[in-house]
Amino acid sequence: MTISVIFENREFIIVNKPIGISIHNGDSNSKVSNQYDLLNILGKQLKYKKLYPVHRLDKETSGIQIFALNSESAKKIAEEFQTSSVIKIYLGILRGKLKVQNGVWKKPLTDKSEGRKYPEGIAAQRIPCETHFKLIQQNNYFSLCEFDIKTGRQHQIRKHSAISGHALVGDSRYGDPKYNDKIESLYKTQRMFLHCNKIIIAGQIFESKVPDEFNLLML
């Protein structure tokens, strides 16, 4: 597998992460690290001794992933992410038709993986968060939305979408398994329809092409 590089300089590298690959399965230098995680694939492809993920896409999510090339750059960029000066825009396809054109989901969430039954998690562990959404395109069955997350809780977009009653299509953790099986049968794809489409950092805009599978559902 060859990973597409979007941008590279002395401080960081930006790649287009495919679906189905974890950022890491343990430390990149560890014996337990999976040879098929993104850190190891890039290490072999680009000959870097060490890469530092400054944010992490879920295994099921595709799109823009940034790695710092040294510890100093990692600290600097991570701080920018923490202060919300970095803008991350996602595209996702939700099940069904949204009744509004845009809005903000503010349901507090835990900062850990949860399940379909209670995506928000235990009340005592919930933390405030915001997911801004905007409807881009819609048909009788699906809603293509743009998401701007102002916080970074684990599975935030996935959880908020499920809580809204419009889970991301193909989400095996928070969506309906029978519905996902039907989508797989009809459209011949197992992917979860969430893609990190754009990141704005230090005044620079970086974009990743929308996957072809998105067009299958929105035709």
* CA distance linking residue 1 with residue 159, whole number of Å: 30
Segments of 50-139 assigned E as strands: 52-53, 62-68, 87-95, 102-105, 131-138
Which residue of the set 27, 58, 148, 176 is catalytic?
Answer: 58
* Residue 116: partners with Cβ closer than 8 Å, 6 or more residues away: 162, 173, 174, 175, 176
176 is catalytic: no
Cα separation of 25 and 174, whole Å?
22
What token pair was written down for 68? 């710092």
Residues forming the active site: 58
